[in-house]
Structures are given as structure tokens and as C-alpha cells.
Amino acid sequence: MHKKMLFKRSLLSAAILAASFQASADAGMVESLTDFNINETSFLKDAGIEVGLWASGGVTGNSNGNTNAPVSFNDRVNEFTLNQLNFYIERAVNTEGDSWDIGGRMDFMYGTDARFTQASGWDDKWNAGSSGYYDIAMPQLYVEIFAPIGNGITAKLGHFYTTIGNEVVTSPDNFFYSHAYTMLYGEPFTHTGALFSYDIDDNFSINGGAVMGWDNMTENAGAWSFLGGGSWTSDDAASSVTIQLISGDQSDTTSGNTTMYSIVATHDFTENLHYLLQHDYANQEIAPGNNVNWYGINQYVTYDINDKVAIGVRGEWFNDGDGVRVNSQGADYLAASIGINYSPVSWFKFRPEIRYDWASKHVFNNNRDQDQIAIAMDMIVTF
């Protein structure tokens, strides 16, 4: 189960998981085959540093045989794509101690997903002029500080993944290969700024900070937004509710507020049966007195058959009636997916899925069809 579906202790824990895939929890391919783990070397252990690498790639086929758009990330049809080759280096801060601690993280991504993940400014200038499907991105580059004040305040300063929504960019942290419209078009991917987190107790957590809008690294440096919210987790960690909100101007030259919230609720009916409900709503001022909005509802049910196999179902309704996010025509989108996660060994995961999409306008197959069926699968290898 990926990070934002758990929220086992606090919003801080969820944010860390949302930003980080911890390969050390299970042996990677190199360790499994050679018994060597670079993170167990004395230099890295003494420094508290962890390095990791994962690769994910797959293939998609659909009923029109042309393009999978507007479903993106896996938008290419009938060809294998290396979606992500992601390297990270991290020093996680100790949030359980009674002393100050400092850490940070850097992620570097190559692949077809990188072009969707780039932030405006420095991040999308690295490979300026590239017209291919493969690109590079640095979705995270931040410093993290723990201050032993009260129950402990954690500050994240720099460029980091969003806390909005449920699905995330990092392949290992999602159940499905394809993504929901809310994640693709309705939410930010990354932020640049400062975010502070605080655990009130074992059940309630809050966070808040200032960021430079959506998916921005160095441009629009004068356009600041508030990002924050809170979460509740039950005593047995079987249920949780997380609310996150972002509000502010998207440009430092043109006024116009964008405000959106996301509510994610989870419940474990049994140890193996998990449910998640998500609702997003956003309102954007594009001109004085002229506002547009988009919103949606997602539901996920997953069942762990055993420690190697899980099956999941996802259903979504996404409204872009004003035609400002997905397609200029403006439409309602319905999508249903069923998929399997199979991990025969700790460092390998196989994710086949079948997905059906329908829209109220002709937005598929280069605006010729109202629906499409896609069969896709990918593989994730943790090194």
C-alpha cells in the first residue's frame, strides 16, 4: 500500500512517505543477488545517509491503438517506455529524539515521467529544447530540520512533493500503473518553499507553510500560497482522515487566486481489505469576476491475497466542465480500473491492469471517441 493510503501515525509521517520510497525496508536486487548493501557500509551508516535507486517501465495498449491521451504518464501506446529511473540520497531526521537534528533529500529522475514532473524555472531549463519523450527532473531537493519543541516540530525547506491528494509521482508508492484524473490534472505535483509539521498527539497532526504555488521552482518567486491542513488517525490505526488545502496566487505578475482542497479518508475493514475515499475541489480566478472550477471523487478498494499478491479496484468521476484542466472542450470523465500487484521477491513488482475511460465529449483518440479501453502493465525494480 502506498504512502498516503496509510497515515499510520501522523500527517508528518504521511508526508515523509509521500515524498520518499524507502528501499531499505526490503532487500534490493543488488543485496539479494550479492549480499552487498551500500547503505550498510560504515561511512554511510555513520553519516546516517541512505542512497537508493529504482526503475519502472511498462507498456500500454488501448482500443484505438493511437494514443492513450488524455490519460498521461502512460500516454504512449504499443511501445515499451522507461517511466522512471530514480536515484535518491537522503538523511532522514530523527523525529523521536529530544535533540535538534538536520537532514534532507535529493531525487533525480530520468524517463518519460520526468517531463510531467518538472517544475517551472530551473528544473525545466536543464534540458531546454528537448522534444523527445524522455527527459530529466529533480522533483525533490530539500533540507529538513527537527526541533524538540513540544512534541517536536519538523521543518522542510526547499523543493518537495506535494501533500495534496492520494496518488503520487513515485511509481513504487502507487497501487496502479495508470493515474487518476485528479492526480494528473487536478492537483500540484511539487512545491518550493517551507512546510512545518507538528504532532499534537498520537491521533491528530497539523502542518502548514508557504510555497511558491504549483509545480514551480524558481519562476513566480513573488507568488506565495498557503499549504497546510491536518489529519486524524484512530487509536488502532485502522481509520484516518486527512485534509490538505492550498490557496494563493499562481503568478507574481498577474493577480488571480487558486484555492483547492483535498480530503482523503481511509479504513481497513480487515487486515487484508482496505478502502480509500478521496474528494478534490478547486476554484481559480482567471480574470476579475471570472472563476472556473474542477472537482472529483475517487474510490479505491484493495485486498491483500497474501504477502506477494494484491488485487485492487479504482473508480473515479472528475469534472472539468470549464475546460481548463484536461481538454478545452470541457467534460465529465469517468474511469474504472482493476489491477493486480505481484511481488515474487522483495525487489520486483509486476502491475497489470485493465482500465475503461468515458467522457461526456469526444476527447479520446485525438478527439474522435468518447471512450476507450486500455490494457497496461509495468514492472518496478528496486536496486
Per-residue pLDDT of the chain (383 residues; tens, 9 = 90+): 443 433 333 333 333 333 333 333 478 999 999 999 999 999 999 999 999 999 999 999 999 988 999 999 999 999 999 999 999 999 999 998 899 999 999 999 999 999 999 998 877 677 655 668 999 999 999 999 999 999 999 999 999 999 999 999 999 999 999 999 999 999 999 999 999 999 999 999 999 999 999 998 877 777 899 999 999 999 999 999 999 999 998 766 666 899 999 999 999 999 999 999 999 999 999 888 899 999 999 999 999 999 999 999 999 999 999 999 999 889 999 999 999 999 999 999 999 999 999 999 999 999 999 999 999 999 999 99
In this structure, are residues 144 and 345 in contact, taking their beta carbons and an 8 Å threshold? no
pTM, to two decimals: 0.90
Supply the pLDDT for residue 96. Answer: 87
Residue for grid cell 511509481? 171
Supply the pLDDT for residue 129. Answer: 55
Rounded to whole angstroms, the Cα distance separating 322 from 307 reads 44
Tabulate helix, strand, coil % of the chain (nearest 5): 10, 50, 40
* Bridge partners, residue 353, by sequence: 339, 376
- Region 3-382: CATH code: 2.40.160.10
In this structure, are residues 165 and 139 in contact, taking their beta carbons and an 8 Å threshold? no
Rounded to whole angstroms, the Cα distance separating 140 from 190 reads 8
Q: How far is Cα of residue 21 from the mean position of the Cα atoms in its chain? A: 11
Supply the pLDDT for residue 11. Answer: 38
Supply the pLDDT for residue 123. Answer: 74
User: Which residues of the chain form beta strands (DSSP E)?
Assistant: 50-62, 81-91, 101-111, 135-147, 153-161, 190-199, 204-211, 225-233, 239-249, 257-268, 273-287, 290-304, 309-320, 331-345, 348-359, 371-382
Spatial CA neighbour of 91 closest among 72, 106, 77, 79: 106
Residue 150's Cβ-count burial label (10 Å; 0-12, 13-18, 19+) is exposed
Supply the pLDDT for residue 192. Answer: 95
Supply the pLDDT for residue 17. Answer: 34
Rounded to whole angstroms, the Cα distance separating 99 from 105 reads 20
Could you give the dihedral angle defined by the CA atoms of residues 186, 3, 161 and 312, in that order, rounded to the nearest 10 degrees? -40
Rounded to whole angstroms, the Cα distance separating 330 from 133 reads 26
